[in-house]
Structures are given as C-alpha cells and as structure tokens.
Amino acid sequence: MNATTEDIQQKCNKHIFGTYARFPVAFVRGEACRLWDDAGKEYLDFLSGIAVCSLGHCHPEITLAISEGARKLIHVSNLFYTYPQVELAAELTRLSFADKVFFSNSGAEANEAAIKLARKHSSDNFGPGRFHIISMKDSFHGRTMATLSATGQSKVHHGFEPLVEGFSFVDFNSVSAVQAAITDKTCAVMVEPVQGEGGLNFPAPGFLRELKALCKERKLLLIFDEVQSGMGRTGSLFAYEQEDAAPDIMTLAKALANGLPMGAMLATDEVARAFTPGSHATTFGGGPLIASAALATLRIISEPAFLAKVRETGAYLKSSLQELKERYSFIKGVRGRGLMVGMELGTPGAKFVSKCLERGAIINCTHETVLRFVPPLVAGRSEVDEMVGILDGIFKEETI
C-alpha cells in the first residue's frame, strides 16, 4: 500500500458511509481486461465491476458513443422523446421476447418496477388482494425496500423490518415447492435464471420451462431477473434463451451500458398495458447519453460471432478450472455457463481473493465459499491461462 492509498482510505473512512468493505487498492485507469492502481501496478480483471464492464474497460466504441453523446444532448425530461431511447428500446424488443421497455437507473429499480407492474397487472385483471410474489431462497434482487423484501437472504433483511408484505421463498430448482407455495393471493413468481449473488446456481434441466407452464396454468406472471445473467454473460444474449422458457417480465441492468448506470424492465404488450401515464416514472431513466452507450454496447454483444466467442472462452475457463479441481481436494466443484463461472470451495474463499489481488488478479467470493469469475466478455484464452496460472500458484502454496 503506498502513501496515496493510505490517504484515500482515511478520507473515505472519514467522509463516506461505511457500507462497503473495500480492498486497499485505488484504481485510476482501465483498458480492456486490465486495471491500474495509483502506484502503477497492473491487474487482470476477472470481475469486471461484477459483470458490468462486459466489453472491458474504456472500450473505444463505447467511449466514442459517450463522448459524442455528451456533446449532443445529456438529458431532457421523459416528458419528451429522444432518439437514442427509442432506438435502444426497439433493439431490445427485437432481440427478446418483449414488446415494451421501461428504463431505470439500476438493477434494483428495474426489479422495483417489475414488482409494481406485477401487482398492477393483477389488480387490473383479478381485483385487489392478489399481490403475493413467490421468490427463491438465496436469490438477490436489490437493496430498496421492495427488492430486499424480495431477496431470499435473511442477512439482507436484518434490521430493516418490517419488510414489504407479500414475498415468500422456496428452493431454487424445485417446481413442486413453487406449486405448494401458490395461494389465491399469488400474482407472480420471480427468479434469476442463474443465481449470481447466491453462489452461482444454475437452473436444473427443465426447471424454468416447467415453471413457465405452471405459471401459465395458474395465471401467474413469470419474472426473470437477468440483471447479472443478461447481456451475453452466459453465452446467449439472455440466459432464458438456453432454457426454452421466455418470461412475461424481464429485468436488466449491470452490463446494459457497459458501466454507465442503466436498468431496464421488459414485458409483453399484454402485461405492459397495466402501466399507464402516472403509474411509474423516473427522472433519469433512459436519458439520451446513457441510451447511446447502451445501444453501442448492445450492438456489439448481440453479434452472433461475439456470443459464440463468449461460449468458447467460457468453456475453456470452465475446463481449465476443472483441471485445478483434479489437483486440489479443497475444490468441491466448478460450474458455469458462458463467462459466468463459479468455483465452490470446501473452505471460505475470501483469503484466496486477497491473495489474487496481491498477485495482480481480481476475482471475488460470493456466498462465503464460491469464487466467482465474471471477466469482461472480450477476454480470451491468454487471459484465462494467466488467471488460472495465478490461482494454481496460490493453491499450490495452500497445500504445502
């Protein structure tokens, strides 16, 4: 740690809420899969701002879209039209099951909008009192009051009770558990196609398809939170495409504008009709500058050749990590799809994250024991080899 890092730490502790446990590193520059700290040390980034900078840091086309957008028009109210916003919505709907988009500024806000829409749709179609939403254990949907109430992790609830009413939690991957939880008050089921914060849990074959059939039969809306799994992360533009199960409502954020804050809620026309002028709104959502950045991001990520490379690099990362598993008994399992990969350890993962950082590689640990690898989608085999080599060195020392 150098003198300036100590200075920034002190200032941070003095002036910023203590809501984050931070590593003692201050980044000052980024390019593609690399970051540099204030002492000039280089890092290989396999976290990408937690699946946010999916085109890598300061991608030239996104930087160009931002700088051109900033010269033209940064903000007007949603009382008016802007071209980037409608172009982005047209592309998102062309590329997905959805007909309509609502733009927000974060994942939590997109989920907040989805919860409101599900309640309003039910109220319009079935009358009052039918507002319960079934969510999954170990899910993560955000930190606002409604989205933390929708989150199936008690550590996120603690101290904030009373929670927003109407959420219940069942085991991920259990259709029968969802079925058993349905009452005459249920209006929707909310699920991440791949659980990110809950430890990288992938859907069992057929789970989402059966869930969709159940929702259809019981007239419930199916909400997919693709805030983390969407935008090419799992090797298809949206994770649901690999499951043969389109939702009624889907939320996006994280990688949508490659690092600028943007979220989106997408829905079919039938469901979207429940929102009318005055139902929902946000000052910044879908502003022209951010929408331009998102449009440029979406155009690159949605290219079939780009997605094919994500699948290929992802398969290589997964098999390289599986090779480590053969050699180190404390590795319990490796699971992944595209470039959303987790390594389950039989021991807490935090110290390995710190050791990686010391050696110039960035990953993180989720759900205590799962090392998470979500590199920029532009990473290739050489970056994978470098990352796995660093891990191998750390694991080797662990076993001596």
Ligand X SMILES: *Cc1c(COP(=O)(O)O)cnc(C)c1O
Q: Specify the residue, 142 or 152, whose C-beta has the smaller distance to ligand X.
A: 142
SS3 326: helix
For 169, 189, 203, 209, the CA distances from 180, given in Å and listed in that order, are: 11, 13, 19, 17
User: With CB under 6 A as the contact rule, which of the stretches 37-45, 135-143, 154-162, 212-220 interacts with ligand X?
Assistant: 135-143
Q: Specify the residue, 82 or 111, whose C-beta has the smaller distance to ligand X.
A: 111
Which residues is 167 bridged to in the sheet? Answer: 133
Q: Judged by CB under 6 A, which of 48, 85, 96, 106 binds ligand X?
A: 106
Q: Judged by CB under 6 A, which of 45, 112, 225, 248 binds ligand X?
A: 225
**Site membership for ligand X, residue 141 (CB under 6 A):** yes
Q: Judged by CB under 6 A, which of 37, 45, 112, 192 binds ligand X?
A: 192
DSSP assignment of 214-256 equals HHHHTT-EEEEE-TTTTTTTTSSSSGGGGGT---SEEEE-GGG
**Site membership for ligand X, residue 228 (CB under 6 A):** yes
Q: Specify the residue, 196 or 235, whose C-beta has the smaller distance to ligand X.
A: 196
Residue number of the CB closest to ligand X reads: 107
Q: Specify the residue, 228 or 292, whose C-beta has the smaller distance to ligand X.
A: 228
Q: Specify the residue, 37 or 248, whose C-beta has the smaller distance to ligand X.
A: 248
User: With CB under 6 A as the contact rule, which of the stretches 67-75, 95-103, 222-230, 329-337 interacts with ligand X?
Assistant: 222-230
Q: Specify the residue, 120 or 141, whose C-beta has the smaller distance to ligand X.
A: 141
Q: Judged by CB under 6 A, which of 142, 152, 285, 375 binds ligand X?
A: 142
- Scan residues 194-213 and list those touching ligand X (CB under 6 A): 196-197
SS3 352: helix
Q: Are the C-beta atoms of residues 336 and 200 closer than 8 Å to each other? A: yes
CB of 2 to ligand X, least distance (A): 30
- The DSSP code for 198 is T
How far, in Å, CA of 35 to CA of 119, rounded?
43
Residue 348 buriedness (CB in 10 A; 0-12 / 13-18 / 19+): exposed
CB of 78 to ligand X, least distance (A): 20
User: With CB under 6 A as the contact rule, which of the stretches 18-26, 30-38, 190-198, 369-377 interacts with ligand X?
Assistant: 190-198
**Site membership for ligand X, residue 227 (CB under 6 A):** yes
How far, in Å, CA of 226 to CA of 232, rounded?
10
- Scan residues 247-276 and list those touching ligand X (CB under 6 A): 253-254
Q: Contacts with ligand X: how many residues (CB under 6 A)?
A: 15
Instruction: For residue 161, count other CB atoms closer than 10 A to its CB.
Output: 7
What ranges make up the beta strands (E) of the chain? 27-31, 34-37, 42-45, 100-104, 132-136, 167-170, 186-191, 221-225, 249-252, 263-267, 331-337, 340-345, 361-362, 364-366, 370-373
| Enclosing H/E stretch for 321 | helix 304-327
What are φ and ψ of residue 41, in 5° steps? -75, 140
Which one, of 199, 119, 105, lies nearest residue 152 by Cα?
Answer: 199
User: With CB under 6 A as the contact rule, which of the stretches 20-28, 36-44, 129-137, 224-232 interacts with ligand X?
Assistant: 224-232
Amino acid, single-letter form, for residue 383:
E
Q: Judged by CB under 6 A, which of 107, 203, 314, 338 binds ligand X?
A: 107
Q: Specify the residue, 45 or 192, whose C-beta has the smaller distance to ligand X.
A: 192
- The DSSP code for 349 is S
**Site membership for ligand X, residue 383 (CB under 6 A):** no
**Site membership for ligand X, residue 120 (CB under 6 A):** no
**Site membership for ligand X, residue 108 (CB under 6 A):** yes
CB of 330 to ligand X, least distance (A): 27
How far, in Å, CA of 156 to CA of 147, rounded?
10
Question: What residues make contact with ligand X under the rule CB under 6 A?
Answer: 106-108, 111, 140-142, 192, 196-197, 225, 227-228, 253-254
